[in-house]
């Protein structure tokens, strides 16, 4: 019984194996064909850099401008796949000059208001109208107004005389030129001595020098309005008055004592070549008229004939009468007032 069924089983198994072969063979062929078609290569993104030659633009009036309101922009793109690339530019203010599809542009910001502005460049790679990839980059520029000009002191000069006569007023005069334009200068004066009697706040002042004999006066003017220390100074001397000085005085003394005193007087005159000698002689109350003049002439004769003084350097004065006779010897420097009998 089993022997009859064995051939039938074998035949069935063979038919099943053949059917499986027929089914899987085309499928394997299809899979083999699919593996033979290469997959598309993915596109690599391009790179893009953007540089500006400045980040700050200062806008000043044309006559004073030292800044350039034009910014140079330079883009550099690269496609690793070698695709053609194109550039597109936009700015938030100002205007662009140059090829809008190029790599170099001039960004003119003249006339822009103070603020922050941006420039953007877009890079497209691949066919025009159907770009495969894009890249973006941007830069910012600050626009600011020109700062106010730095204040500048004017050139300040001041004039004052070297000397002024004792008790006479002295005038100081200042001038200011240049400096920050549009400022009206105010002249503020200070003096080291004396009193300003007129002109404070103006270029010229008058100073009272009363009681300042022998003192210098320093005048300093500050030119105000520039918020700076704009000053100048000068000095005037008020010389002390030149006064005669009494070298000696004697009454009725011996002739030898008188000669000794006259010798000393002659030496003093010789030590002051420009000075003059004054002899004021007084007669006693009981003396004869003209006695004072005779005493003065006797003294002068000794000084000229014995001591060798020039007669022109010795002046005699009849002082009149006193209770007792006396002789005064004076040295009078150039410019000094002459002594008078007392």
Answer whether residue 47 shows pLDDT above 80. yes
Question: Which one, of 218, 215, 219, 220, lies nearest residue 238 by Cα?
Answer: 215
In the chain, the domains with their CATH numbers are 47-145 (2.60.40.10), 155-238 (2.60.40.10), 245-332 (3.30.1330.60)
Q: What one-character-per-residue DSSP string does 203-265 give?
A: SEEEEE-TT-TTEEEEEEEEEESSSS--EEEEEEEEPPPP--EEEEEE-S--HHHHHHHHHHH
Residue 102 has pLDDT above 60, yes or no: yes
Give the mean pLDDT of 277-299. 93
Beta bridge partners of 314: 277
pLDDT over 70, % of the chain: 85
Are β-strands 314-321 and 276-283 bridged in parallel, bridged antiparallel, or unpaired?
parallel
- Both structure tokens of 31: 């899979």
Quick one: tokens of 328?
Answer: 């005064």
In this model, does residue 287 exceed pLDDT 80?
A: yes
So what's the pLDDT on residue 213? 87
User: At CA 221, angle to CA 220 and CA 222, rounded to 5?
Assistant: 125
* Residues listed for the chain: 342
Tokens of 136: 């973006």
Euclidean distance between CA atoms 223 and 270, whole angstroms: 52
Give dist(CA 75, CA 18) in Å, integer.
69
Contacting residues for 268 by C-beta, under 8 A, at least 6 apart:
247, 331
128: pLDDT confidence band, cut at 50, 70 and 90? confident
Give the model confidence (pLDDT) of 9-39 as tens digits.
655 555 555 555 445 545 545 555 555 556 6
């Amino acid at each position: 019984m089993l022997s009859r069924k064995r051939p039938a089983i074998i035949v069935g198994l063979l038919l099943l194996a053949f059917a499986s072969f027929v089914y899987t063979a085309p499928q394997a062929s299809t899979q083999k064909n699919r593996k033979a078609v290469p997959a598309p290569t993915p596109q690599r993104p391009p790179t893009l850099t953007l540089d500006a030659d400045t980040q700050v633009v200062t806008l000043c009036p044309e006559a004073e401008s030292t800044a350039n309101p034009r910014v140079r922009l330079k883009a550099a793109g690269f496609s690793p796949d070698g695709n053609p690339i194109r550039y597109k530019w936009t700015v938030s203010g100002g205007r662009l000059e140059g090829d809008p599809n190029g790599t170099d542009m001039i960004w003119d910001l003249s006339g822009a208001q103070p603020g922050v502005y941006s420039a953007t460049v877009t890079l497209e790679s691949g066919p025009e109208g159907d770009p495969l990839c894009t890249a973006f980059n941007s830069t910012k520029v600050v626009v600011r107004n020109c700062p106010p000009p730095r204040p500048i002191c004017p050139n300040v000069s001041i004039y004052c005389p070297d000397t002024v006569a004792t008790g006479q007023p002295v005038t100081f005069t200042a001038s200011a030129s240049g400096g920050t334009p549009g400022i009206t200068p105010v002249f503020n004066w200070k003096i080291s001595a004396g009193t300003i009697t007129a002109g404070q706040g103006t270029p010229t002042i008058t100073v009272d020098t009363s009681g300042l004999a022998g003192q210098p006066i320093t005048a300093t003017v500050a030119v105000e309005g520039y918020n700076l220390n704009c000053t100048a100074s000068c000095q005037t001397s008020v010389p002390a008055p030149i006064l005669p000085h009494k070298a000696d005085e004697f009454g009725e003394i011996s002739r030898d004592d008188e000669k000794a005193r006259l010798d000393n007087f002659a030496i003093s005159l010789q030590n002051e070549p420009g000075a003059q000698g004054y002899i004021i002689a007084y007669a006693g109350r009981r003396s004869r008229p003209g006695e004072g003049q005779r005493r003065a002439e006797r003294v002068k004769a000794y000084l000229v004939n014995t001591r060798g003084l020039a007669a022109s350097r010795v002046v005699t004065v009849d002082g009149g009468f006193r209770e007792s006779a006396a002789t005064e010897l004076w040295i009078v420097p150039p410019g000094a007032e002459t002594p008078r009998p007392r």
